[in-house]
A and B are shown apart, each in its own frame.
Chain A
Amino acid sequence: MSEPQNVEQLLFIAFGIVAAGGALYAVVTRSLLRSIIALGAFLTAVAGEFYLLAADFLAVVQIFVYVGGIVVLMLFALMLSASGVRHPLAAIDRPALGAALAYSLGAGVLWGSLTTELPAVGELPADAVDALGRALLGSQLWSFELIGVILLASVITALVIVRKERR
């Protein structure tokens, strides 16, 4: 039982259960606040999965941006709008259409992930963070700079939308 592979698999499954449970609760609960908290739990469990898969940088980024950023943004939205505690899914105009869309999208993703031939796990780099940095400045340089441009664009877009709302 104490074999590393077994422990790793067990942990991976445990994190997976927490993630799935959190995600499920997030959509099932009628309280928006609880939904956001469950989303936070889901994101944290996924960070655990990342770490187990040797993506430690990504795991910390997940906590940094998603738990400490996106979840906080959602909480701000909930608290500032005082939209009460009703879940937005409960206030949707045409629930049947929404459900059909969501289920077909989910089924598509599931089907795609089950049928796609995944690439074999290669040799892990000795220092994953180092490899990531080198890739960003080497083969992925354009992606790196492009992200900067996209983020600039997102600041502009966000501010334009916010200004429109204010008027």
Chain B
Amino acid sequence: MSGAYLSDVLFLLGFAVAVVTIPLVTLAAFGWLRPHYPEALKAEAYESGMPQASIPRRPFHMAYYNFALVFIVFEVETLLLFAVAPILRDAGWLGLAEVGAFVALVALSLFYAWRKGALVWR
């Protein structure tokens, strides 16, 4: 009954195992060929040749978070469109109108975020 799903999972699992293992093995295999000369200066973070002027653990630009927030909403909307897209071909004008209403709501969210200045990078 669910044979196709089971073999899909098995295939992808095998694929993933191979793709994860190969770089790990390569990394380990060349370990004994790599030089290893630890040095305090080498282990400093790079900052154009001077000691690190500020640590990279400080409050930073909230704009990134705002974009991520809006992103999730639009992503969910996109995925719903993916769910209905395959059957739209034979859904007739009624189906198109139904999806059109949904797209209008998406556009409205975009318009709102735009007007409120959420899409401005600062």
Min distance, Cβ B16 to any Cβ of chain A, angstroms: 10
Chain B residues near A156 (CB-CB < 8 A): 112
Main secondary structure of the interface of B (DSSP, over half): helix
Instruction: List A22-80 residues whose CB lies under 8 Å from chain B.
Output: 48, 51-54, 56-57, 61, 64-65, 68-70, 72-73, 76-77, 79-80
Min distance, Cβ B100 to any Cβ of chain A, angstroms: 11
Task: Contact check, B72 vs A133: say whether CB atoms are below 8 A apart.
Answer: no
Assess A162 versus B98: contact at CB under 8 Å? Given A4-B6, A124-B2. no
Task: Contact check, A148 vs B6: say whether CB atoms are below 8 A apart.
Answer: no
Chain B residues near A147 (CB-CB < 8 A): 76, 80
Number of B positions contacting A (CB below 8 A): 49
Assess A148 versus B84: contact at CB under 8 Å? Given A56-B5, A76-B64. no
Task: Contact check, B75 vs A64: say whether CB atoms are below 8 A apart.
Answer: yes
Interface size class of A (residues with CB under 8 A): 35 or more
16 residue pairs bridging A and B, Cβ less than 8 Å apart = A52-B6, A54-B5, A69-B68, A69-B71, A69-B75, A76-B65, A76-B68, A82-B59, A133-B83, A133-B86, A136-B83, A141-B98, A144-B84, A147-B80, A158-B69, A159-B66
Which of B's residues lie within 8 Å of A, judged by CB?
A: 1-3, 5-6, 8-10, 13, 57-62, 64-66, 68-73, 75-77, 79-80, 83-88, 91, 95, 98-99, 101-102, 105-106, 108-109, 112-113, 116, 118
Which of A's residues lie within 8 Å of B, judged by CB?
A: 4, 7-8, 11, 48, 51-54, 56-57, 61, 64-65, 68-70, 72-73, 76-77, 79-82, 84, 124, 129-130, 132-134, 136-137, 141, 144-145, 147-149, 151-152, 154-156, 158-159, 162-163, 165-166
Query: Given A52-B9, A65-B75, A65-B76, list of 7 further CB < 8 A pairs?
Result: A4-B6, A64-B75, A68-B75, A137-B95, A148-B101, A158-B69, A162-B118
